[in-house]
Amino acid sequence: MIKVKNLTKYYGSRLAVDNISFNVAKGEIVGFLGPNAAGKTTTMRILTGFMMPTRGDVWVAGYDMLSHSLEARQHIGYFAEAVPLYTDMTVRSYLDFLARLRGLDKNRIKTRIGDVVGICHLEEYIDVLIGKLSKGFRQRVGVAQAIIHEPEVLILDEPTVGIDPIQVAMTRQLIKELGKEHTVLLSTHILPEVSMTCGRVIIIHEGRIAAEDSIENLASMIGGAKRIRLEVAGPSQQVAERLRQIKGVQRVSYQDSDYTVECAAGQDPRGQIMEAIVRSGWSLLSLESIEMSLEDIFLKLTTEEETNR
């Protein structure tokens, strides 16, 4: 459904996307991850026909984006990073305007507005000016306009940035629902969002693809394991030695009284750790499990990639 081949984009002399290639198959929901300035939005703009690449080829829904951009765009729904909404239009008139722009006929527009307003839970706001909506609801209008023409492919650039946790959860659910009927490429900085919605991820870093895999494989590749950080008042070496004896503990590192424990996949030895420390007569000052952040994963992936070169 999406095919990117040797895509390169320069802004003047700045290289934003460096010869990347990837495919997204029909029905897949793929997470497009990367730190700021990695090239995600640039790639998405090219995929949606808003910008020309410097080099390379892009096909969406079977159309060559460079030679058949108009046709391709009818099959794409795009949620842009900065959604260009018309604030002095009501939700209904805005959706109607865009649907007409995309060539839907009158009757179909009416049903589709009803459909998308239902899907995005905008019923109460359909006749409200977009300028008067809260940010989260504007995001929903952004999603609604992206799906009004029933595109086969959805390109969503950070659809859950800056909205509250309840709405994030709702948007996620929505993306999951949409994924049943659409092919989705989703960019986000929130890793749990990806594990909840995406079957596969592509990680882009400094304009290049750093990793591309299923969530399961990526999780096991980066360890897939829990890390626990604790602070113990006691003799460091002995404490570390004792921690290493606990079942499920794979590696222990420490600095002064701070310890980091890496656990085997699927293991959570926090109870045993607490017990061991207390039984040894030391004081456990704090204990917390550390979630792996996107940054951790990046660090790991990019350093591993460099050592492989």
Residues that bind ligand ATP (CB under 6 A): 11, 14, 16, 34, 36-42, 81
Instruction: Confirm or reject binding of residue 43 to Mg ion (CB under 5 A).
Output: no
Contact partner, 71, from ligand ATP, Mg ion, none, Cβ < 5-8 Å per class: none
| Contact string 75-114 vs Mg ion (x = CB under 5 A) | ------x---------------------------------
DSSP conformation letters of 181-238: TSEEEEE-S-HHHHHHH-SEEEEEETTEEEEEEEHHHHHHHTT---EEEEEEES-HHH
* Chain residue at closest Cβ approach to Mg ion: 41
3-state secondary structure of 73: helix
Contact partner, 140, from Mg ion, ligand ATP, none, Cβ < 5-8 Å per class: none
Nearer to ligand ATP (CB atom), residue 37 or residue 233: 37
Contact partner, 39, from ligand ATP, Mg ion, none, Cβ < 5-8 Å per class: ligand ATP
Pairing of strands 2-11, 227-233: unpaired
Nearer to ligand ATP (CB atom), residue 14 or residue 106: 14
Min dist CB 6 to ligand ATP, Å, is 17
Beta strands in 133-189 (DSSP E): 153-157, 183-187
Tokens of 4: 């990117």
Nearer to ligand ATP (CB atom), residue 39 or residue 223: 39
The angle formed by the CA atoms of residues 120, 82 and 113, to the nearest 5 degrees, is 30
Nearer to ligand ATP (CB atom), residue 58 or residue 261: 58
Min dist CB 2 to ligand ATP, Å, is 17
Binds Mg ion by CB under 5 A, chosen from 29, 41, 148, 203 = 41
Contact partner, 144, from ligand ATP, Mg ion, none, Cβ < 5-8 Å per class: none
Min dist CB 17 to ligand ATP, Å, is 7
As to burial, measured by CB atoms within 10 angstroms (0-12 exposed, 13-18 middle, 19+ buried), residue 292 is: middle
Beta bridge partners of 15: 10
Range 68-88 burial, b when 16+ CB lie within 10 A, else e: ebeebbebbbbbbeebebeee
C-alpha pair distances (Å), 305 with each of 36, 205, 208, 211, 302 = 19, 11, 11, 9, 5
| Contact string 11-40 vs Mg ion (x = CB under 5 A) | -----------------------------x
Q: Which residues bind Mg ion (CB under 5 A)?
A: 40-41, 81
